[in-house]
Chains A and B, each alone.
Chain A
Amino acid sequence: SQQGEEDPQALSIQEGENATMNCSYKTSINNLQWYRQNSGRGLVHLILIRSNEREKHSGRLRVTLDTSKKSSSLLITASRAADTASYFCATGVSGGYNKLIFGAGTRLAVHP
């Protein structure tokens, strides 16, 4: 079952603009992670936020988590053409084997 749902499904912006992607989930989580996938490639881990954290930064990335609303957002500031990729949120749930449940992703296109 897929828990995370990203919004929007696709996003098209110009270089230099900010990109915001949202993720909603249904059940209790231990953590929420964001991954990036370039076309036809594997996933690359971007950032992890734990259920007791509200905001986290990494370079141009800012992630927020609202457990009361069961939602998270990923903000990429000053986007670059190289940021063009699909972005997935994955919720880490309890279960003894660090299971991740992935959403369907947001396809981001950054135009020069």
Chain B
Amino acid sequence: DGGITQSPKYLFRKEGQNVTLSCEQNLNHDAMYWYRQDPGQGLRLIYYSQIVNDFQKGDIAEGYSVSREKKESFPLTVTSAQKNPTAFYLCASRPAATDTQYFGPGTRLTVL
């Protein structure tokens, strides 16, 4: 099956802990994105990467970090510096020369 996978589906974190959300795609897409969605709101861009070993901050990057060591993988770390991390996190990828993004199923992070 081709597609974008995110794991875990649900994640619980204690305050002060860092957690890493996984995003993997086997679509051979160059660009990958991380978004945050809060209840009743649209998506806000956290980080994006257009090629391996390169990534850029989006609109709300504070308290988050990413890496792009492989084309297929774009993990997101939510650090303890993120003051309000409880949210639904969505990963997306985009093939070259198109504008359409393809989304994973999301990870719901809850801080206890």
Q: Is the interface of B mostly helix, strand, loop or mixed?
A: strand
Q: Tell whether, in the assembled complex, residue A42 and residue B103 are in contact, meaning their CB atoms are under 8 Å apart.
A: yes
- Tell me the bound Cα distance from A40 to B10 in angstroms: 11
Q: Tell whether, in the assembled complex, residue A104 and residue B94 are in contact, meaning their CB atoms are under 8 Å apart.
A: no
Q: Tell whether, in the assembled complex, residue B94 and residue A98 are in contact, meaning their CB atoms are under 8 Å apart.
A: yes
Query: Nearest chain-B residue to A1 (Cβ)?
Result: B59
What are the residues of chain B within 8 A of A104 when measuring CB–CB?
A: 40-42
Is B48's beta carbon under 8 Å from chain A?
yes
Contact with A99, one of B4, B40, B45, B103 (Cβ below 8 angstroms): B45
Q: Which of A44, A45, A98, A103 has the most CB of B within 10 A?
A: A98
Q: Tell whether, in the assembled complex, residue B43 and residue A102 are in contact, meaning their CB atoms are under 8 Å apart.
A: yes
Q: In B31-46, which residues have CB < 8 Å from any A CB?
A: 31, 35, 40-45
Number of interface residues of B (CB under 8 A): 26
Q: In B1-43, which residues have CB < 8 Å from any A CB?
A: 4, 31, 35, 40-43
What are the residues of chain B within 8 A of A92 when measuring CB–CB?
A: 99
Q: Tell whether, in the assembled complex, residue B99 and residue A30 are in contact, meaning their CB atoms are under 8 Å apart.
A: yes
Q: In A57-112, which residues have CB < 8 Å from any B CB?
A: 88, 90, 92, 97-100, 102-105
Contact with B101, one of A4, A40, A100, A103 (Cβ below 8 angstroms): A100
A65 to nearest B CB, angstroms? 14
Contact with A45, one of B35, B41, B102, B108 (Cβ below 8 angstroms): B102
Contact with B100, one of A2, A33, A42 (Cβ below 8 angstroms): A33
* Contacts known (A42-B104, A97-B31, A98-B31); A31 close to B56, Cβ less than 8 A: no
Interface residues of B (CB under 8 A from A): 4, 31, 35, 40-45, 48, 50, 56, 59, 88, 90, 92, 94, 99-106, 108
